[in-house]
Amino acid sequence: MNASHTPGPLPPDVEARPARLTVGVVGAGRVGPALAAALKLAGHHPVAASGVSDVSRRRAAALLPDVPMVEPAEVLARAELVLLTVPDDALPGLVTGLAETGAVRPGQLLVHTSGRYGTGVLAPALRAGGLPLALHPAMTFTGTSVDVQRLAGCSFGVTAPAELRMAAEALVIEMGGEPEWIEESARPLYHAGLAIGANHLVTLVAQSMELLRASGVTEPGRMLGPLLGAALDNALRSGDAALTGPVARGDAGTVAAHLAELRLHAPEMVAPYIAMARATADRALAGGMLKAEFAEALLGVLADGAEGGER
């Protein structure tokens, strides 16, 4: 399906299902409208959304046609299930404000999608009678209908009070996702694990493409695609056993040559290269792939490289 298309009509059996919920979205960024659209496909009824920017309003109109844009308090007044999909730093203030102004109704499901927080951030809403759920999709979002398709099989980090666990997991399944239970205290660590994998991967790929382009490669993306796809698949299947390359082999001379070229052509990448090489060397050593006699020379090159960058 083209990314510009909106989700199709509901299957007849879905429209007839009982006990469907009215759904509201507070924060029409990339995530909220996509989740609401997925819930619509499951037979729930998006009834209101709020967004500040013109971009967010257009996004909501594309993914949730005919759903009115209103103020956050009005979203809560209309919806039985409210998706709070605002940036992490804005979430505590939003929840406190909604609770203090009486916008939260007893029995209302309040769902945030932050990876960082569990349900503790929803404590003000809980005191007002709301039912708190933390459902974090482990997925990057584009703000288009392709996101709804990508939710199929997507893992969600789920945190909820024990009595709401089944309801939380059912909502994830209805959106096409796979629930993964995360304890409240483990949410920051869980989110750090995802950020290291997804966010830093983008940085590494972008750096690699820049270097290849500078070396004369005309289509770095085409060159990297098969290589990185295989590396990712191997890593997911085998973990550290998938390590390869000059660092894992202990080729100190090759690493020294890399650092020399980076200093000439991309000095801002020297420190990240050294940091990742050290981390790779540690894992290769622990896994028995990098022999101690090779590791000594390799770590010496990395140490010299780091000192050279501080001069």
Q: What are 158-177's pLDDT values in tens digits?
A: 999 999 999 999 999 999 99
Q: Bridge-partner residues for 111, per DSSP?
A: 83, 133
What's the confidence (pLDDT) of residue 53? 87
Give the angle subtended at the CA of 153 by the CAs of 34 and 233, to the nearest 5°: 120
Please spell the DSSP secondary structure of 20-84, one letter per residue: --EEEEES-SSSHHHHHHHHHHTT-EEEEEE-SSHHHHHHHHHHSTTPPB--HHHHHHH-SEEEE
pLDDT digits (tens, 9 = 90+) for 272-304: 999 999 999 999 999 999 999 899 999 999 998
Confidence of residue 307 (pLDDT cuts 50, 70, 90): confident
**Cα–Cα distances in Å, from 18 out to 13, 14, 21, 43, 57?**
10, 9, 9, 9, 30
What are the backbone angles phi and psi of residue 109, rounded to the nearest 5°? -80, 125
Helix ranges (H only) for the chain are: 12-15, 32-41, 54-63, 72-78, 91-100, 123-127, 146-150, 165-174, 187-214, 220-238, 246-249, 252-265, 270-286, 292-310
Question: What number does CATH give the domain 12-182?
Answer: 3.40.50.720
Cα 191 from Cα 251, distance rounded (Å)? 34
Q: Is 158 in contact with 165 (CB distance < 8 Å)?
A: yes
Q: Which structure tokens are listed for 179? A: 């629930």
pLDDT digits (tens, 9 = 90+) for 186-233: 999 999 999 999 999 999 999 999 999 999 999 999 999 999 999 999
- Mean pLDDT (the chain) is 91
What's the confidence (pLDDT) of residue 9? 46
Q: Is 91 in contact with 64 (CB distance < 8 Å)?
A: no
Domain boundaries, given as residue ranges, for the chain: 12-182, 190-310
Q: Is 82 in contact with 110 (CB distance < 8 Å)?
A: yes
Q: Is 25 in contact with 76 (CB distance < 8 Å)?
A: no
Cα 307 from Cα 311, distance rounded (Å)? 7
What's the confidence (pLDDT) of residue 92? 97
pTM for this predicted structure: 0.84
**Within a 10 A sphere around the Cβ of 79, how many other Cβ atoms?**
26
Q: Is 238 in contact with 273 (CB distance < 8 Å)?
A: no
Mean pLDDT, range 10-35, rounded to an integer: 75
Confidence of residue 266 (pLDDT cuts 50, 70, 90): very high
Mean pLDDT, range 25-46, rounded to an integer: 95
